[in-house]
Amino acid sequence: MGTALGRAWLAAGHPLTVWNRTPGRTAALTAEGAVAAGSAAEAVAANRLVVACLLDDASVGTALDGADLAGHDLVNLTTGTPAEARERGVWAEKRGARFLDGGIMAVPPMIGAPGAFVLYSGHQELFEEQRGALAVPAGTEYVGADPGLAALYDVALLSGMYGMLAGITHAFALLRGTEVAPGDFAALLVPWLNAMAGTAQETAGRLTSGDYTTGVVSNLAMQVAGSGTLLRTAAEQGVSAELLTPFLHLMRDRVAAGHAEEDTTGLVDVLRTR
Ligand SMILES: NC(=O)c1ccc[n+]([C@@H]2O[C@H](COP(=O)([O-])OP(=O)(O)OC[C@H]3O[C@@H](n4cnc5c(N)ncnc54)[C@H](OP(=O)(O)O)[C@@H]3O)[C@@H](O)[C@H]2O)c1
């Protein structure tokens, strides 16, 4: 990811100093005009704006331990939890730096292309002042002054993605070994998932209003009754239902608690009380 980010800045004509723990991995960027620093501390000293994109929060602490951050703007694009981002913010401020946390919503080939965006939270003036440079590799979305917010949004978006990936995995497992060509099925699955994605807007509306029943077209009673078909089909096809059952059990329990007329919105509350 660091290489993809660096490439975008170099292509836009930004001067760039790079550091990586394993030195050889900066070769692609130095070949395109970046200056390789001999240490993280040397890289930090080269510019006011310092962007960290390492494996995890602990590696950021390790890498920047000996660097003088005073007077610098530290933008941390390393994926972490909200609490880690807040603690890293305090850590950076104690060392005299302004701090912004970021969550990259893209894979490396998307960097520099339309569609990629980065969620930012933390020091707002830093964000405004450095926005020109930050907007080069990807779109920018500032979500608030609490440094933990970008990570919270990031992980919530990734969690939505993993739910979708679980469904895709189960669907292909049902068809594996049959005469259905995976590509033919994908041509139907993608528009179906796109059509169903609008459920997120409905859920948002119901969470805001607190009304989980008015206008529900697919209530939990119907969905739980139908879930037996999903489980029997999985058994017929010799496929484990382990990706499906947690969600089906949540729906079943919500019905048992007297909420058969709701849609799935109430499951949000169930998850917060178990
Ligand atoms: N790749 C993606 O699709 C993607 C998408 C969104 C967000 N991200 C986030 O971007 C960050 C980087 O991901 P990546 O794909 O670039 O991962 P990566 O290819 O595995 O690179 C990890 C980097 O962290 C460095 N590192 C690991 N431990 C370190 C330590 N203790 N001290 C100093 N440096 C250390 C590695 O250095 P060495 O070269 O020396 O090992 C390497 O430069 C992660 O937080 C990831 O979650 C990635």
CATH of the domain at 131: 3.40.50.720
Residue nearest (by alpha carbon) to ligand 1 atom 46: 79
Domain that holds residue 92: 2-152
Is there a domain that residue 235 lies in? yes
Question: In ligand 1, which atom is closest to the CA atom of 54?
Answer: 24
CB of residue 25 inside a 6 A radius of ligand 1: yes
Q: How far apart, in whole angstroms, are the C-alpha atoms of residue 104 and residue 111?
A: 9
Distances (CA, A) of 55 to 1, 38, 238: 10, 20, 38
CB of residue 178 inside a 6 A radius of ligand 1: no
Q: How far is the CA of 76 from the centre of ligand 1 (A)?
A: 12
Tens of pLDDT, residue by residue over 28-86, are 999 999 999 999 999 999 999 999 999 999 999 999 999 999 999 999 999 999 999 99
- 25 & 95 share domain: yes
Question: In ligand 1, which atom is closest to the CA atom of 40?
Answer: 33
Q: How far is the CA of 194 from the centre of ligand 1 (A)?
A: 31
- 207 & 140 share domain: no
Please tell me whether residue 51 adopts helix, strand or coil conformation: strand
Look at residue 274 in the predicted model and tell me its pLDDT.
86
Q: Give every residue of the chain whose pLDDT is below 70, as ranges.
A: none
Q: How far apart, in whole angstroms, are the C-alpha atoms of residue 205 and residue 183?
A: 35
Is there a domain that residue 186 lies in? no
Extract the tokens encoding 200. Answer: 């997120």
Instruction: Supply the pTM of this predicted model.
Output: 0.93
Is there a domain that residue 172 lies in? no
The residue whose CB lies within 8 Å of the most ligand 1 atoms, and thus the one to mutate among 5, 53, 55, is: 55
The domain tally of the chain equals 2
Q: How far apart, in whole angstroms, are the C-alpha atoms of residue 224 and residue 254?
A: 10
CB of residue 112 inside a 6 A radius of ligand 1: no
Is there a domain that residue 207 lies in? yes
